[in-house]
Structure 1
Amino acid sequence: MRSIAVTRTPSAATTRGIPEPGPRPLSGRLAGMSLPRQVMVLSVWPLLEQYLSFLVGMVDIVLAARLEPEAVGIAATDALGIAGYVMWLMGMLLGAVGIGAAALVSRAVGSGRQRLANAATGQAVLLAVLMGLLITVGLVWFAEPIGALAGLDDEAGALATRYLQIVGFSAVANGLLFMGAACLRAAGDARTPFVVMVVVNVVNIVTSVLFVLGPEPLGGWGVTGIAAGTALAWFVGALITLWVLIGGRSGIALTWFWLRPHWHTTKRIVRVGIPQLLESLGIWAGNFAVLALIGRLAGEGLIGAHMIAVRIESLSFLGGFAVAQAASTLMGQYLGARDPRRAGITTLACTGIAVVIMGVFGVAFIVFPEFLTSIVSNKEAHLAVTPELLWICGWVQPFFAISIVMSSALRGAGDTKVTMWLSFVSLFAIRLPLVVFFGWYMEWGLVGVWYGLTGEWLIRASLFMGRFLQGGWQRVEV
């Protein structure tokens, strides 16, 4: 494998004739650990957390897909498919701020600057509240047009609107939960967010099942009950997260002093986060365009079949995202400790782990697609299409892993502008044309759409690997 060229730009100290300080050991919770242990500590808990989240999403889809009569179940699955994409947008918007906050916190912790880490945490919480309020307004006002834009029929559109408006009122709670977890992981504490998410997911699953399948009047609420369970769980998680941050037992502390606006710190977070925000909006818009095109293909339940395949595939890519979080944190902390060589080695190690994890799942998708689909839905419209989608995506999981980890590591370095442009090129110049070509021009329908989607992953992986090997991320200032 090609070696990573470590380059250094002259610092102010160097130009004045003062020797530039060399690499220093990490401070904080990761101090003194070997590289394998650092990766394990930072990835195991997020890995378990991701699979808990997968379980919640899967329970929601299973509850919707098995509603009777069959037409209601198909409409509910389509509705949750569109709602899932909107929830993904919510996570991406919050994630943009989270990337900026995490980059600042990880570098501050890596360099032993406790005051800066606490300041970044406080400002991230304020930004989470602001973003949550904006999301609430957006979902309450635009939930109905979103369903129509996606091509849902009247019944599915009404269910999607109801779901989105209910969860919209808990967007601030979701923001606090998300942002707190990002700051804790950046400080090296991946275990606490996992424990919090265990509680959140248990509350979500229990209440959703109770609201849907329980005795009336508590049960029997269908999609409304699924949404109510999600909203309630987010409120519980937000309260626990705030309690953990205020206690300061994870190496960072949320204090009243840093809950006042501090424009210099906020500007540093936003400077890193804005390119990620633009990238997130672009990615979401491109993928929503794909979903809207699927909604206009001939055939019943295609959006539901597509989303079931995505949910099952998440068994693979959620593991990749967990390892990618470790890569992002270690990248930021090692750069904060002036050790770009170690940052590069860590990224390569995390990439290898993700390739193995996602490659194993890829084999399962190729060998057992019918069985995996039947676990989720008993509707013929889904059983006829989803297995072939899983078979297609199984072959490219290793390349998907490379793109996930490499892009996350670059963001951890603060290299968000370049990752934004690489993502835009890959999405709009490659993915959408491939989807249109195979799905419509070749008339392969939803199967053709997935050939286009998975083909783009091969090119995306090459783009991010190229940027990593080129080494420009070493010169980014946060």
Structure 2
Amino acid sequence: MTRATAGTDSAPDTVLPETFASRKVDGLSTASPSSGPLSNQENGVLRPLVLLSLPILAENILHMLVGLTDTYLAGHLETEASAATAAVGTVAYILWFVNLIAMAIATGATAIVSRAVGARHRSLASSVTGQSVTASLLLGTIAAILFAIFAGPLSDLTQLKGMAHDYSRYYFQILSISLPFSLVTVAAGAVLRGAGDTLSPAIAMVVVDLVNIFLSLVLSRGYLGFPELGFKGIAIGTVVAYVIGGVILLAVLARGTRVRLYRHRLRPHWSTLRRLIRIGLPNGVEGGLTWSANFVVLRTINQFDATNVSAAAHIVTIRVESLSFMIGLAIATATATLVGQSLGQKNPARAVRVTWTAAWLAIAVMVCWAFGFFFAGRHLAMLMTSDPAAVDLAARCLAITAFSQVGFAATLVFAGALRGAGDTVAVMLINIVSQLGLRLIGVLVLVKGFHYGLEAVWVVLAIELTLRGAAITGRFIHGGWKHVKV
């Protein structure tokens, strides 16, 4: 619910051309902003923003389709459809927490690599690439061991009931196989995006999604001579797909285009690791605390009823809403890269133009989806599940979240700009106060104190997102991000 990409032709305006004059600034080689696509003479920011956003959007959509495919297949099983839907969505929350660890590394990697590319500091970019991969592999391996050993207690922690509990325990066990590859995917994508290469991760996600759809479908339904495994087939297909995705992105980095993974760069380099941690740690702390708030909300929803209808409707609402926020997230990710590169070129004015252009673009697109949620929410929910009760409840929640899309767009884009500038502490503080102080407390008061249901939860979420968007926008307008050192 918080809310939860390499080819040189894809973004020609995001990499410093060789014609730039070079000079030393604070000990780093950087380029003069006198000419070229990142110069003050360059008035247009929409075209490079769109060119950079489109591959990221493709990647996000494909990543979203993995979740949508799993939710659809689970929601249309012949038996225990709501239990399977609740299990798929709840496991995704736990996996989100693991990915937050990788995102702490990824945030620092994007900020440093984007500035290094903008300043033509290739050795720094290569060092960050190697250290990001090493850290993500190590953390992924640790997470895999913990998932395999503690699958049962993790399932107990979710408060799922009946078959949903059993499904989730199996998913946790088999998911441990893919975790090192999943975390490498996050880190590698961040490095490539920071270098302005958004096409390769998108291509990798095409493969991931196609493999996931094929294997999950044939294994869960028993097509093409495969055994009919039901829910287990969905889990196996997803795990195999993410392993393949991680291998592809490692191969892309090893081949090298804008950044390259060298074997000697995989050895721990403590100075580079400290820089990554210094920038990424606030994002990691923020992510961990906000995840905790959202997980408590999820546990509360999972306790609503033994039939798992509320839990299923909640997951369906999130999956459908992702159709909107994945577009905003793509624009925000592109914004982070362009802001970092602009600041690397000592051009904060262009960073401001990029961000405001991105904000209006994201708002326009997400408002269009808001109308869809409000007027066609039931039809969208029916795509995800065959349970009539879950469809009705999800449709009402989608109508509520329609009113939060403007605030959601502002939250995504302006937070992306601040992170791209390295201003991660401010984003962390705003998110913690908003999600712990407003979201979590608001949900607990309405549910535990006044015994309201899922619709009240989504009212709180909509209000919190709107207020958080206003606060992050205010931080961007303040301008302190222009002076952050990375």
1:6 matched to which residue of 2? none
Please report how far the alpha carbon of residue 48 of structure 1 lies from its aligned counterpart in structure 2 after TM superposition. Answer: 1.4
Shift of 1:400: 0.5
Which runs of no fewer than 5 residues in structure 2 stay unpaired?
A: 1-23
Q: Which residue does 1:390 correspond to in 2?
A: 398
Aligned equivalents of 1:21 and 1:160: distance in 2?
52
1:297 and 2:308 matched: no
- On the 8 A contact 2:130/2:261 being kept in 1, the answer is yes
Q: CA RMSD in A?
A: 2.2
Once the two structures are TM-superposed, the CA of residue 438 in structure 1 deviates from its matched residue by: 3.3
Equivalent residues of 1:27, 1:112 under 8 A apart: no
Are the structure 2 counterparts of residues 32 and 126 from structure 1 closer, same or farther at C-alpha, using a change threshold of 3 Å? farther
Given the two structures, how large is their TM-score scaled by the length of structure 1? 0.91
Structure 1 residue aligned with 2:230, among 196, 214, 222? 222
Cα distance in 2 for residues equivalent to 1:253 and 1:123: 12
Does the CA-based 8 Å contact 1:26-1:111 persist in structure 2?
A: no
Aligned to 2:264: 257
- Shift of residue 215 of structure 1? 4.1
The 5-angstrom pairing of residues 312-323 of structure 1 reads 312-323=320-331
Q: State the match for 1:243 in structure 2.
A: 251
Contact 1:27/1:110 (<8 A) preserved: no
Q: Distance in 1 between matches of 2:479 and 2:385?
A: 46
Match of 2:64 in 1: 54
Corresponding position of 1:477: 485
Asked if 1:38 corresponds to 2:48, the answer is: yes
Alignment CA distance shift 1:193-1:162 (3 Å): same
CA distance in 2, matches of 1:49, 1:162: 28
| Structure 1 unaligned blocks of 5 or more | 1-12
1:221-264 Cα shifts (integer Å, max 9, x gaps): 12221111111112211221121111112x11111121121111
Question: What TM-score do you get using the length of structure 2 for normalisation?
Answer: 0.90
Distance 1:294 1:332 in 2: 39
Tell me what 1:455 maps to. Answer: 463
| One-letter amino acid of the counterpart of residue 115, structure 2 | R
- Segment of structure 1 superposing worse, 291-300 or 302-311: 291-300
Q: Which amino acid aligns with 2:163?
A: E
- Measured in 2, the distance between the counterparts of 1:27 and 1:354 equals 23
Choose which of 70, 85, 94 in structure 2 pairs with 1:86: 94
Map 1:46-445; keep pairs closer than 5 Å.
Answer: 46-69=56-79, 72-215=80-223, 218-249=226-257, 251-298=258-305, 300=307, 301-445=309-453
SS at match of 1:350: helix
Q: CA deviation at 1:23?
A: 4.2
The one-character-per-residue Cα deviations of 1:25-74 (angstroms, maximum 9, x if unpaired) are 5789xx989422210121001111111122221111111111122xx212
Corresponding position of 2:16: none
Q: Which amino acid aligns with 1:109?
A: V
Q: Do 1:286 and 1:428's aligned partners in 2 also have CA atoms closer than 8 Å? A: yes
CA contact (8 A) 2:31 2:120 kept: no
How many residues align structurally? 457
Measure, in 1, the Cα distance between the counterparts of 2:44 and 2:179. Answer: 39
Contact kept? 1:26, 1:337, Cα under 8 Å: no
CA contact (8 A) 2:182 2:243 kept: yes
Q: Deviations over 1:171-198 (max 9, x none)?
A: 1111222211111111011111111111
Q: Is the 8 A contact 2:406 2:466 kept in 1?
A: no
Does the 8 Å CA contact 1:136/1:171 hold for their aligned counterparts? yes
State the alpha-carbon separation in 2 of the partners of residues 435 and 360 from structure 1: 27
Amino acid paired to 1:281: G
Runs of 4+ in 1 over 4 A off after TM superposition: 20-28, 31-34
Aligned-residue sequence identity (percent) comes to 35
Q: State the shift of 1:85 in Å.
A: 0.7
Describe the SS at the equivalent of 2:383.
Answer: helix
